[in-house]
Chains A and B, each alone.
Chain A
Amino acid sequence: MAVQSDILASDAQQEMSRREFLNYAWLASLGFITAQSAVLTYQFAMPRLGPGEFGGPVDIGMIEALPGVGAPPEPFAKAKFWWVMSATGARAIYKVCTHLGCIYQWKQEEFKFVCPCHGSQFEREGKYIFGPAGRSLDRLVVRVYDSSGKMVAETPPDGGPVKIPAGSRIVVETGMKILGAVHG
C-alpha cells in the first residue's frame, strides 16, 4: 500500500511534460473529429423529405373535387392518409395503425376502420373502439387556402375537424402529425 500511495503522490506532484501535453492534444483532437463525424454521419444518413412527397406539404386540390359528407373515407396512397368529411368538418387521418404501423382498412359494411394485424378498430373519425392500439388514429394537419392563396383555416391543435368553405384549396401537411388521444 505504501508503494502505491507513493506512486499516486509522485503522480500528483509531477508537472505535465511537453510530450504528455501534446499527446493529450492529439487524443483530444481525434476525439473531437470523431464526435464531429458522428454528427456528420447522422445528418448524412437522415432521409430528406421534400414538398409533394410524404413528409412535406401535399396539395390535394379543390374541396369540390373531394368526397363530401356521407361518402366513404377516401384513401390517398402516396400522401398516406384517409380523407374523412363529416358534418362538423374535414379530417386527414394518418393511414398507419397507432398500434404497430400496419395499414388498416375501411370496412364500409361494418362502418369502421379495422387493422388486419392485431385487430384494432376505429370509428370513421378515427376514435378508438377496440383492440390493442393505445390511442386513437393520428391526424395530419389540413390547411385550407382561399382563391387568393391565403390560409384561412387549419386543423386545430387537438386534431379536431376543420370547417372548409366552398372554393378552397386543400393542402395536407404530411410532416405535421397530431397524435390521437390516448384512451383509458
Chain B
Amino acid sequence: MLGSNTLRNLRSNVAGEWQRIRDYDWLKWAAGVGDYVVRGIMAGLSAKELRAILRGDVPTERPNPRYRAQVKSFMLHLRPKYYQRGSTWFTHTWRLGWFATYFFVVETITGLILMLFYAPTPERAYGDMLYILSNVPYGKFMRDMHRLGAEGMVAVVILHMVRVYFTGSYKKERAFTWFTGVILLLVTLVLSFSGYLLPWDQLAYWAVTIGTSMAEAAPGFGMEVNLLLRGAVDIWAGGLLRFYLLHIFLLPLVAIVVISIHYYKVSREHSISLPAVVEEGDMSPEEKRHHEERIDLIPNLIIHELMLTSVATFLMVVAVATFFSAPLEQHADQAVTPLHTEAPWYFLWLQGMLKLGSKQLFGIVLPTLIFVVLFVVPWIDRNPLRLAKRRPVAIGIGVMACIIMLVLTYMGTPRYGIETPPAQDILSVFVPQTHPGPLRELPWDDLHTAQTPADAADTRLKRTYYVSYPVGMDQDPQYADRDKYVFVNSLDPADPAFLTGLPPDLADEPDSEFLQLLIALKAKVEEQPKLIQQTSGAPKAVVTVEYIQPELKWVYAAVFWDEMELDREKDLTYMIPFTDYELMPDGSVRMDAAGKPVQLEPAKSKKVVFDLEYGAEASDGTRPILADPRPHLKDADGNAIYFEADGTLEVTDAQGKKSTISLADAMPNIKPSKQEEYLAIHRDSQYHH
C-alpha cells in the first residue's frame, strides 16, 4: 500500500537523518561558532591565539593577528604596538603613569557606585554618608576604596612628575607632553580637592572654606572666582552642588580629554623615553642594541599589566580591609571652626607657605609662579643631555625643590607655628575635632562607667576620673566610693598604689588602652607649666564617662587652671579693687554727653599695668630694664594715669566722692579658667581598625 511504503521510507529517512546528526562533528561546529564569536569580540584573535598570548607564546597564525588586532580594536589601537626594551625597565618608570590611569579607573568605578546613594544637598549629604557607611552592603568598602584611590592617584601623579624630571624625560619632542602632564597634575589636585567637600562634615567644610578663601586673595578677580565656586558668599547648598558637579562631571571630562592628549603623544609620537644610560651612556653597541630591541605590547606588556592590576587591586582591598579607613567627622557647622583645621596632605605645602606671610604673596603669587615654572620646565632647561651627571644644575634644583616642598609640608601641619592655649591643645589630642581620635577608636566596652546608679532617682551610670588633682583630694571621704570616683594617682600603671586606687572592673585590666590614655593625659597636664593649680582647690583634669542609653555614652573631659593675665609685653598685670568707670587723666570719672558716668568694659577695669622700658638686647638675650616701672591705669584713649611716687592715686567716683587707691592693694590678675570637651559615643560610631 501506498501509505505503508511512505511510512517505511519515512522511517528509514528519519533513521538516516538521525544517523547523520549523530555522526556530525558537533564539537567542531561548536568550536567554529565559538571561534567566530571570540574573533568577533576580540578583534580577530582566536581563542587559541588568546591562550597563546596568556602563555607568552609566539603567534599561532600568519600574518601576526596581534598586530591586526591593534589596528582593528578601538581599545587596543590606543596602545603602541611595541616598546623598546630599555623603556620598560621597572626602575626607569616605576609604572607611575600606568598606576595613575589605574587609579583613575578605580575612582570612576567606585565613584559611580557611591553616587547611587548620595545626594549633594546640605540636608541629605551627611545623612547619606552615614547611610552608606552603616546600611549599604559594602558601602564603607566602596567609600574607603574611593578615598584610598584618590590619595593614591594624587601621590602617583606627583611621583610620576618627579620621575620624569629626574630622568630628563621631558626634553625635545616630549616638551608638550610634559606641558599636558602639568595640566593633569592640576586637574588631579582639583579633582581630589573637589571631592573633599562632599561628605559634608566639619573637616570637609572647613578645609574647603580655607582653600577657596585663598582664591579670594587674588587681586581683581578673587572675589568673583570665590563667588562662582561657592555659589554664595559662603559655602552652603549652592557651593555643595557646584563642587559636586565639578567633581563628578566637569573635571573628569577635562581629565579624560587631557589624558587622551597626553597619552596620544606617548603612544604615537615619542613613546616612553629610553633610560639615559641607554641613550647616551657608555654601553657597548651590542648591549645598546639589546636594550633598543622592540618588545611587543601583546603579549609581554599586556600580561605584565594584568599582573599589576591584580596586585594593585589586591593591595587596595587588603589596605581597606585592615588599616585604611576614610574619616567622617561631625556634621558641617558654619558657626564653629574646629581647632587645627588641616588641609589634605597634598596641600599642606600651601598651608605651610601661608604661615610665612601675606596671603597675596604666599597664597596666590608664589603658587602661581611655581606652576608657571613647572609648565615651562622643558623650555627653561635647554640642555639636551639627559644623564644626571651631565645636568648637575637641573638635578640640584630638583633635589632642592623636593626638600623645600617636604619642609613646607611639615610647616603646613598644625605642629608648626601655631600657638594654641595649652589646655585646648592637650584636650584636642584627647578629643580632636577633625578626626576620630583615641576615644572613638577604643572598643566600646573599654569606656568604663560606674557599676551602680548615682542614686535611686537617677539610674544613670556615671563615673568621674580625677586625672590630675590637688594633694589629699583622693583621701576626702566625699569621694570614697571608688566605683564612682577614680583617682589616677600614678604615671606608672605597674605601681601598686595605682592598682589599689582602681575599682575592681578596672583593676583587672591595668594595661587597658583607656587607662593608658588617662595616664597620658595626666602626664601632659602635669608637665605643662602654664596650667597652674586653681586656688579654689579644683582638680586640674577630669574625665567623666556616663552611660546615657543602651547604645550611648557621654564622655566629658575638662582641664581647670588659673590663668595669669599678661599684657602684650608679657608682663604680669595686677588688679586693684576700684570702680568700674572710665577715668580722665586727672583721676576724675569721665562723663558722657548726657552727664552720666561712662562705664568701663569689664576686663579693662581695675587693671594696673607696670609699664617697663627696656634697653637693647644683651649678648645673653636678656634686656635690661632702664627706668623704674611706673604703675598706671589707662584711660579710654590709652593714656597713662600714673600713680604717685608713694604708690597711691586719688580718684573721683561718679558721685564726686574722692578716694585713694593704693598699689599695696594690687593683686596678680589671675582668672580661674577651664577648657572642656564633650563627646557622645554611639556604639556603632566607633572606629574599628
B187 close to A (CB within 8 Å): no
Residues from chain B with a CB closer than 8 A to the CB of A49 are 232-233
Contact A87 B337 (CB under 8 A): no
Contact A103 B337 (CB under 8 A): yes
| Minimal Cβ-Cβ distance residue in A for B206 | A102
Q: Could you mark each residue 224-237 of chain B with 1 if its beta carbon is under 8 Å from any beta carbon of chain A, else 0?
A: 10011011111000
Secondary structure of the A contact surface, majority rule: loop
B445, chain A: closest CB distance, angstroms = 33
Given A47-B231, A102-B206, A103-B336, check contact A134 B359 (CB 8 Å): yes
Determine the distance from Cα of A111 to Cα of B422 in the docked complex, in whole angstroms: 18
Q: Could you mark each residue 88-129 of chain A with 1 if its beta carbon is under 8 Å from any beta carbon of chain B, else 0?
A: 100000001001111110000111000111110000100001
Tally chain A residues at the interface, Cβ within 8 Å: 35
B459 close to A (CB within 8 Å): no
Contacts between chains A and B (CB distance < 8 A), count: 96
Secondary structure of the B contact surface, majority rule: loop
| Minimal Cβ-Cβ distance residue in A for B336 | A103
A9, chain B: closest CB distance, angstroms = 32
| Minimal Cβ-Cβ distance residue in B for A102 | B337
Residues from chain A with a CB closer than 8 A to the CB of B618 are none
Given A103-B335, A117-B210, check contact A47 B238 (CB 8 Å): yes
Tally chain B residues at the interface, Cβ within 8 Å: 47
B128 close to A (CB within 8 Å): no
Contact B335 A55 (CB under 8 A): no
Q: Could you mark each residue 18-48 of chain A with 1 if its beta carbon is under 8 Å from any beta carbon of chain B, else 0?
A: 0000000000000000000000001001110
Contact B354 A132 (CB under 8 A): yes
Contact among B209, B420, B601 with A101 in the assembled complex (CB-CB below 8 Å): B209
Determine the distance from Cα of A129 to Cα of B570 in the docked complex, in whole angstroms: 13
B330 close to A (CB within 8 Å): no
Contact B420 A119 (CB under 8 A): yes
| Minimal Cβ-Cβ distance residue in A for B343 | A100
Determine the distance from Cα of A96 to Cα of B563 in the docked complex, in whole angstroms: 27
Contact B216 A45 (CB under 8 A): no
A69 close to B (CB within 8 Å): yes
| Minimal Cβ-Cβ distance residue in B for A124 | B601
Q: Could you mark each residue 120-151 of chain A with 1 if its beta carbon is under 8 Å from any beta carbon of chain B, else 0?
A: 00001000010110100000000000000000
Could you list some 21 contacts between A and B, CB below 8 A? A45-B228, A47-B233, A49-B233, A55-B233, A70-B600, A86-B601, A87-B592, A88-B636, A100-B209, A100-B354, A101-B209, A101-B216, A102-B209, A103-B336, A116-B337, A117-B206, A117-B210, A118-B418, A119-B418, A132-B355, A134-B357
Other A-B pairs beyond A77-B335, A117-B206, 10, CB < 8 Å: A75-B335, A87-B592, A88-B636, A100-B213, A100-B214, A111-B601, A111-B602, A117-B210, A118-B355, A131-B419
Which residues from chain B sit less than 8 Å from chain A, CB to CB?
206, 209-210, 212-214, 216, 224, 227-228, 230-234, 238, 334-341, 354-355, 357-359, 417-420, 563, 568, 582, 592, 598-604, 636, 671, 673
Which residues from chain A sit less than 8 Å from chain B, CB to CB?
42, 45-47, 49, 54-55, 69-70, 75, 77, 80, 86-88, 96, 99-104, 109-111, 115-119, 124, 129, 131-132, 134
